Amino acid sequence: MAESAELILDGKSYSLPVIEGTEREKAFDIGKLRDQTGYVTLDSGYKNTGATKSAITFLDGEEGILRYRGYPIEQLAEKSSFIEVAYLLIYGKLPTEAELQNFSNQITKHTLVHEDVRKIFDGFPSAAHPMAILSSLICSLTAFYPESVSPDLSKEEIDLNVIRLMAKISTIAAWTYKNNMGHPLNYPRNDLDYCSNFLYMMFSFPTEKYDIDPRIVSALNKLLILHADHEQNCSTSTVRLVGSANASLYGSVSAGINALWGPLHGGANQEVLEMLQAIQKDGGDTSKFIAKAKDKNDSFRLMGFGHRVYKNFDPRAKIIKKAADEVLAALGIDDPLLKIAQELEQAALTDQYFIERKLYPNVDFYSGIIYRAIGIPTEMFTVMFALGRLPGWIAQWKEMRENKEPIGRPRQIYTGETERDYTPIEQRS
Ligand code: MLT
C-alpha cells in the first residue's frame, strides 16, 4: 500500500499521500490540502517546501553530496569541461563526441551580439556595477529575439535560445568589465574554446599579443563546473517562478541574475574579498576579527562561512580549496589578502566556536580567492558566478516548461487590519 500521512483537524482525518524521490527523500503531497481543509501551510523562506519535482541536481546537505544528473561533482570537476557539464545539465545525459562537438560549435557560432547591444553600453554610467549591466542586457535579448516570448516554442526554437544565451552571455559579461574600465571591447574569437575565449575577451588589448595560460583555463573550467547548478536555490527558484508565467528564457534568466546579485546569495564572494580588504586596511590582525565574529554585541559577520543547506561541509569548497592551493602555487602568487584568508580559514577549522556552529568556509570563500589569483576584479566575481550558473538556470527553466508546470502562485497568511471604513482626510489625526 502506498505510504501516506494522517492529518487530524477538528476531529476529522485527512490522508496526505507521501511522495518519494529516487534518492529516498520524502514529502507530504499537500496539493489538495486547501480544497479539503481550508488550511494552507506556512513556511517562511521555503526551508521545508519542495517547490517542484526535479531530475537535474541531487544535494544531500547532511552528507555533503552534490550530483548533476547522478554524476558526483568531484568526478565532473576532475574529468569534464564546463561545456560538457552544460550539455549534461540541459539535455540530461553526457554527450557523445559528435554531440559535444556540435553543441560547442553552435555556441561558438553565436558568440557575436547585435551591434546595437554595444550602443546600450553607452547609456550606463561608467561606474555601473557589472551585474546591473549583465541583467539588463540579458533581458534586452528578448527585444532582439522577440519570438522568444512565445509560449509555444518548438524544441528547435528552444534549443536556439539556449545556444544563443550560452554564447552571448560570455561576450556580454566580458564587455561589462571592459566598459567599466574604459577599454576597447574585444570581439569573440571563434578559434578558441569557451573559457579561453572568455579570458581573451576579458584581458586582451588590440595593441598587444595576449597569451592564454592553460592553467588559468583549467581553473576557470573547474570553477564554472562547481557553480553550474545547485537545485532550488534563490536565483534558480526565481528563474522557475518567472518562467512559470511563460516568460521568455532571457527574461527569466535576467530575473535570476538579479536574485544572484544579492549579498546573501551570489554577491557573497564579492563580500568575502571586501571583508579581507577591510581586515588588511585595519592592520591585518585576524584574531581581532575572529573575536569580533564571536561577540554577540558586535555587528561584524564573517562572510563566506557556513551554508543554508550543507550542515557539515560544502563539497564544492573542498574541491575549490584544492584548486586554489594549486593555482596559487603554480602561478607563484604571494598576496597578503590570501594570507589573511588562510588565517581565517585555519581559525574557523580549529576553533570550537566555529566548529560547533558549523561555520566552515564555503564555496564563496574560496571562489573569491581563486578569482583574485587569476586576475578577475572583485566587482566581476558575481558575474563569474552567473556565467557558471547559466546552464543550471537553463536546465531548470526547460524542465519546468517541458513538465508543463502551472504558474507559481504561493498563498499567504494575512496579518494586516481587518475590514474598516474609509476616513475622509479632514477627520484623520
Ligand atoms: C548556490 O550555489 O546557489 C548557493 O550555495 C546558495 C544555495 O544553494 O542556497
Distance CA 151, CA 252 (A): 13
Q: What is the DSSP letter of 420?
A: -
Whose Cα sits closest to atom 7 in ligand 1?
A: 233
pLDDT at 366: 87
334 is catalytic: no
Whole-number Å distance, alpha carbon 270 to ligand 1 midpoint, is 15
230 is catalytic: no
Question: Could you give the count of Cα atoms lying within 13 Å of 275 in the half-sphere of its Cβ?
Answer: 25
Mean pLDDT of the chain: 95
pLDDT at 165: 98
Instruction: List the one residue out of 373, 359, 378, 261 whose CA is nearest residue 314.
Output: 359
Closest ligand 1 atom to Cα of 362: 5
Instruction: List the one residue out of 291, 313, 324, 298 whose CA is nearest residue 359.
Output: 313
Cβ pair 408, 240 in contact under 8 A: yes
Q: Give every strand in the sheet of 26-28, ordered side by side.
A: 4-9, 12-20, 26-28
Query: pLDDT exceeding 70 applies to what percent of the chain?
Result: 100
Q: What is the DSSP letter of 186?
A: P
Whose Cα sits closest to atom 8 in ligand 1?
A: 233
Instruction: List the one residue out of 324, 340, 95 whose CA is nearest residue 226.
Output: 324
Cβ pair 312, 65 in contact under 8 A: no
Whole-number Å distance, alpha carbon 416 to ligand 1 midpoint, is 33
Query: How many helices (H) and strands (E) would you count in the chain?
Result: 18, 6
Cβ pair 228, 392 in contact under 8 A: yes
Residues at CB less than 6 angstroms from ligand 1: 230, 233, 265, 308-309
Distance CA 180, CA 203 (A): 13
Residue whose grid cell is 566552515: 360
Mutate-to-test residue for ligand 1 from 230, 384, 387, highest number of ligand atoms within 8 A of CB? 230
Distance CA 381, CA 304 (A): 13
Closest ligand 1 atom to Cα of 234: 9
Interior angle at CA 289, CA 283 and CA 292, nearest 5: 135
Cβ pair 33, 40 in contact under 8 A: yes
pLDDT at 337: 86
pLDDT at 126: 84
pLDDT at 103: 98
pLDDT at 338: 80
Residue whose grid cell is 581565517: 344
Residue numbers of the chain with a pLDDT score lower than 70: none
Indicate the pTM of the whole model: 0.95
- Active site residue: 227, 230, 307, 314, which one? 307
Whose Cα sits closest to atom 2 in ligand 1?
A: 230
